[in-house]
Structure 1
Amino acid sequence: MRWHDDFLELLDQRLLPADEVWLPHTTASEVATSIRNMVVRGAPAIGISAAYGVALSALQTTDNGWKQMIEADMQVLAESRPTAVNLFWALNRMREVLATCDTRHQAQRRLAEAAIGIHGDDLAANLAMAGHALTVMDDRAPFSVLTHCNTGALATGGYGTALGVIRRLHEEKMLKRVYADETRPWLQGSRLTAWELAREGIPVTLNADGAAAAILSRGEVKWVIVGADRITANGDVANKIGTYSLAVLARHHKVRFMVVAPASTVDMSLESGQEIPIEQRDGLEICEIKGIQIAPVGVDVFNPVFDVTPASLIDAIVTERGVIHEPDISGMRTLFNERKP
C-alpha cells in the first residue's frame, strides 16, 4: 500500500501475478469495498488499510458533524471483514486518537499520523518476530519448511509474518526450500507467495494443498510456518482454511508447527477458538475459476474462509513480544499481561 497524504493506493492482489495494478482510494467506503472484495487481504494489511481509510474519512468531512461522519465511516470499515481482529484493533486505535481531537483539521492531521504510525509499527513487529522465531529453531543446517496462504509483504506492512521468518531463514542461510500450498480457493499461495519468493530468489516449490501430507512424510520439512487472523486467550488460532488439517498432518509426521502473528492479532477477550466468528463467502469461489464453471450448477457449497487450529497442535506462537511454547491460557496471559479475573 502507498499513502499519498490525500489518497491511498492499494495493489490489487486479485490480479497478481499476471498484472500489477494500483487502485487509488479517496474515501473510507472505497477502502472498505477493497477489503471486502479481497483487493487487499492478510490480517495486518487489512488493519493498516482500515487505519488509512479513517484518515481518508477525516479528509472528506465538513465542519458540521465531522466527528459523527468519521465514526460512521469507521462502522462501515468494521463491517468489511468479520474474522481478522487486526481490523478492529486498528479501528480502536484510530477511535482513541479521534477522541483527542477538538477540531476537524486537528483530526485530519492526527489520524493521518496515527495511520502512518500503525503501518510503521507493523513493519517493526515483523522484523522482531523473525528474530524471535529463529531462537526456536535449533537446527542450523539448512532445512525445508512448508507454508500456507500468503503472509509476506503483500499481507503486512512490508516484510511478513510467517513469510518474514522464511525470509530471515534465507538471509541466515538456514533455508533449504519452501513448499508453498496453492491455498484454494483464492490461490494466494500460487499467485502471491510463490510470486514474492520467486522475485527474491528464495527457492520455492509450489504444491497442491492435498500434496502436503506426501511432502511431510518425506522428512525434509522441519517446520510448518503459518500466520493467523485471530488468536484467542487459550492459544487457539484462526487462519486460512486448510491450516487445521496441516497442523494435524504435522503432528502425525512429527513436524513442528509455528504460528507467527503480531500482538494485534491476539484477542484475549475470547476464551477459545469456538468463539471466533468465521467468515463464509460466496460458493462461486469454489465452483468457478475466472468465471469458468468447474462444478455442477446449483451444487451446495461449504466455503468458510478460515478454520481454527487448537492450541494443542501448535508448538510455538511467535509475536513481536516473544515466543509462547506449547501455547495455553497460562502462557498467553503471561506474555500479554492478562490476569485471571
Structure 2
Amino acid sequence: MRTIEWRDGHIVAVDQTALPDAVRMLDLRTVEDLIDAIKRLAIRGAPALGVAGALGAALAVRDDPDLAGDRVAALRQARPTAVNLAWGVDRALRRLPDGPDAVLAEALAVVEEDVRCNRTLAGRGADWLLGRAARPVNVQTHCNAGGLACVEWGTALGVVRALHERDALGRVYVDETRPLLQGSRLTAWELAQLGIAHTVVVDGAGPSVLARGLADAVVVGADRIAANGDVINKIGTYPLALAAARAGIPFLVAAPESTVDLATPSGAEVEIEVRDGAEIVHIGQTTIAPAGTETLNFAFDLTPADLVTAIVTEARVIHPAKGERP
C-alpha cells in the first residue's frame, strides 16, 4: 500500500488521522483539499510532504495555470518547518515552461524516487548500526518515520525494517509521541503489520529506556537538517539525543537528501511550527486540563549537531558530532 500517489487524475492518500482504528483513503481533487489534509495531519511525514508538494503543484497547474501561483504559495506554507514540502513544489514547478504534463511527469518521478532512495538509505543505516552494535540490535524511535511518512518504505523505520530483514533486530521501543500520539497510533501500527516486536513507552520514559540499557541505539527521522548539521524533528527528539549522549549510544538520523537544507545555516534560523493548544489539553473528545489552561504546543524541536552521531541519507553518511557538515 502506498501512503500517497496519483490515481485517475487526482491525489489519493491514506488518512493518517483514522489510524489505527481504520485504514481510510482520501480522494484529494483540489489544492485546497490537499492543504486541508496537510494542516490537519492526515498527510504528514517529511518525505510524504515532499511528494504531496510535487503532486499538489501538478494539480494546481492542471486545474488553472493562471491561478496556480496563489494556490502553490499557500501549499508551500501549509507546514513551514518541514523543508520537503516546499522542495517538492519547487522541483515540480521547474518543469512548468514545458507545460502541465511535464509538471505531472516530474511529480511522478518524485514519487518513484522516494521509494528508491528510502530503501537505499535504510540499507546504509542498517550497515552503519551493525558496524557499531552487537546483534540483535534493540532500537528506540520517536514519532513516525515509516512507510506512512513516505510513499511506502520509511526512513528511520526503513532502517528498522532493513535490520529485521537481516534477522539482526531485537525489540523496538516506541515513544508514544505526545500530543497526537504518532508513535503509539502509527509507528506501533506499522510495526505490528510487519510482525516486529515492539514496546510503547510514554515520552517521559524515553530517556530512562536508554539509561537502563534497554536500547542500543536511537534512530529517528528529520523534518529539516541545517547546513551545520543541526536536526529539526518532532518535539521530544532533543531529550532522546541528550539521553543517548549520556548513555554513550549512537543517535542516528535517517533522512533523504531532500531534507538537507544548505540554505539554512543552523537550526536557530528554522521557523518552529506552533500548533493549536487544543491538541495538548484534549485526547480525542476527552478534556485533560482545566478550561482556560494556557498552552505552548511546539510541533518540533532542535537537536544540536554535536549530539547527532550520524545522519544517513541515500547518498552518504555524515558524522556531525565529529565536526562533519552536510
Measured against the shorter chain, the TM-score band is over 0.9
Shift, 1:140, TM fit: 4.5
Q: Confirm or deny: 8 A CA contact 2:171 2:197 kept in the other structure.
A: yes
1: distance between equivalents of 2:252 and 2:238?
Answer: 12
Shift, 1:222, TM fit: 1.1
Matched, 1:120 2:112: yes
Structure 2 SS opposite 1:234: coil
**Residue 134 of structure 1: aligned partner:** 126
Query: Of 102, 110, 114, which residue of structure 2 is paired with 1:110?
Result: 102
Structure 2 SS opposite 1:135: helix
Matched, 1:205 2:199: yes
What amino acid maps onto 2:6 in structure 1? W
TM-score (norm 2): 0.95
Structure 2 SS opposite 1:221: coil
Shift, 1:71, TM fit: 2.1
1: distance between equivalents of 2:79 and 2:288?
Answer: 27
Matched, 1:2 2:11: no
Structure 2 SS opposite 1:145: strand
2: distance between equivalents of 1:259 and 1:244?
Answer: 12
**Residue 290 of structure 1: aligned partner:** 284
Shift, 1:213, TM fit: 2.2
Matched, 1:222 2:222: no
Gaps of 5+ in 1: 333-341
Structure 1 SS opposite 2:95: helix
Shift, 1:41, TM fit: 0.4
Shift, 1:212, TM fit: 1.3
**Residue 22 of structure 1: aligned partner:** 25
Shift, 1:304, TM fit: 0.4
Matched, 1:31 2:23: no
Shift, 1:185, TM fit: 0.4
What's the Cα RMSD here? 1.3
What amino acid maps onto 1:251 in structure 2? A
Seq. identity, %: 45
1: distance between equivalents of 2:109 and 2:207?
Answer: 41
Q: Confirm or deny: 8 A CA contact 1:235 1:310 kept in the other structure.
A: yes
Instruction: Answer with 319-328 or 239-248: which moved more.
Output: 319-328
1: distance between equivalents of 2:321 and 2:76?
Answer: 29
Q: Confirm or deny: 8 A CA contact 1:317 1:327 kept in the other structure.
A: no
Total equivalences in the alignment: 321
Q: Confirm or deny: 8 A CA contact 1:149 1:240 kept in the other structure.
A: yes
- Deviation per CA, 1:195-237: give whole Å up to 9, x if none: 0000110111111111112211222311100000000010000
What amino acid maps onto 1:258 in structure 2? L
2: distance between equivalents of 1:143 and 1:282?
Answer: 37
Shift, 1:72, TM fit: 2.0
Shift, 1:320, TM fit: 0.9
2: distance between equivalents of 1:145 and 1:297?
Answer: 39
Please list, as runs of the form range in 1=range in 2, the aligned pairs for 1:74-89 lying within 5 A after superposition: 74-89=72-87
Matched, 1:12 2:15: yes
What amino acid maps onto 1:274 in structure 2? A
The structure with the largest alpha-carbon Rg is 1
2: distance between equivalents of 1:34 and 1:155?
Answer: 14
Shift, 1:327, TM fit: 4.7
Q: Confirm or deny: 8 A CA contact 1:153 1:159 kept in the other structure.
A: yes
Structure 1 SS opposite 2:218: strand
Shift, 1:3, TM fit: 1.5
Q: Confirm or deny: 8 A CA contact 2:54 2:90 kept in the other structure.
A: no
Q: Confirm or deny: 8 A CA contact 2:5 2:111 kept in the other structure.
A: no
**Residue 58 of structure 2: aligned partner:** 55
1: distance between equivalents of 2:322 and 2:82?
Answer: 21
Q: Confirm or deny: 8 A CA contact 1:223 1:255 kept in the other structure.
A: yes
Query: Of 151, 159, 171, which residue of structure 1 is paired with 2:153?
Result: 159
**Residue 89 of structure 2: aligned partner:** 91
What amino acid maps onto 1:172 in structure 2? R
Instruction: Answer with 217-226 or 277-286: which moved more.
Output: 217-226
What amino acid maps onto 1:192 in structure 2? L
Please list, as runs of the form range in 1=range in 2, the aligned pairs for 1:240-259 lying within 5 A after superposition: 240-259=234-253
Shift, 1:110, TM fit: 1.2
Structure 1 SS opposite 2:170: strand
Q: Confirm or deny: 8 A CA contact 1:233 1:329 kept in the other structure.
A: no
TM-score (norm 1): 0.91
Shift, 1:59, TM fit: 2.7
Q: 1:124 to 1:88 in 2, by over 3 A?
A: same
